[in-house]
Each structure stands twice: as structure tokens, then as C-alpha cells.
Amino acid sequence: MIFMKKRRLKKIGEALDLPSEYVAQCSKITVTDYKALEILNFKNIIEYTEKIIRINATDKIIKVSGAGLVIDNITDDRIALSGEINSLSFE
């Protein structure tokens, strides 16, 4: 049911030329030069160390692994991380 609603909202957003991360509340992940990462539309932080950060996104858990990882900025729906990013996986 929820999947069908998201799909419908995504189609409406495409017809109106709106970004899907805002219309259907999809997460958007941006990685810059393996040193910075930004996630739009996340729920909460599950784990936070300098080697691993796990974030509960809209429908999956995002795991960022690396060294010297820090949270640079956080708002209600956006989180920005930096450090040496070695891997990005989804659980």
C-alpha cells in the first residue's frame, strides 16, 4: 500500500517536474570526492562513531564506513557528514 502511494506521488512529481525526494519523501544521497556526504529525508541516527555512522533513512538503513567521520550539520530532514569515506552500504 505504501509502495503504491509513493509510486503514485513520484509519477505526479515527474509530471509536474518536481524532485522525487520532496514529493515522495525518498532519500537523496550526495557524495563529494569521498570526503563529504549529504542525506536528505532521513529519520534518525542509529549509530555514530568515528569509523561507522548508521542512519535510518525513509525505507533503508544507510551505513557509512571510514575514518574520522563527523557530523558537520544536521536539521530535521538533512544530515551532512565528512571524513574519509571508504564505503556506503544499505541494510
The pLDDT tens digits of the residues spanning 36-69 come to: 999 998 999 999 999 999 999 888 999 999 999 9
Beta strands in the chain (DSSP E): 28-32, 36-40, 42-48, 52-57, 61-74, 78-90
Residue 1 has pLDDT above 50, yes or no: no
pLDDT at 5 (0 to 100) = 58
Q: Tell me the pTM.
A: 0.76
Residue 17 has pLDDT above 60, yes or no: yes
Can you say how many angstroms the Cα of residue 64 is from the centroid of all Cα atoms in its chain? Answer: 10
- Calculate the alpha carbon distances from 3 to 22, 29, 55, 58 in Å: 16, 20, 21, 12
Is there a contact between 78 and 68 (Cβ–Cβ < 8 Å)? Answer: no
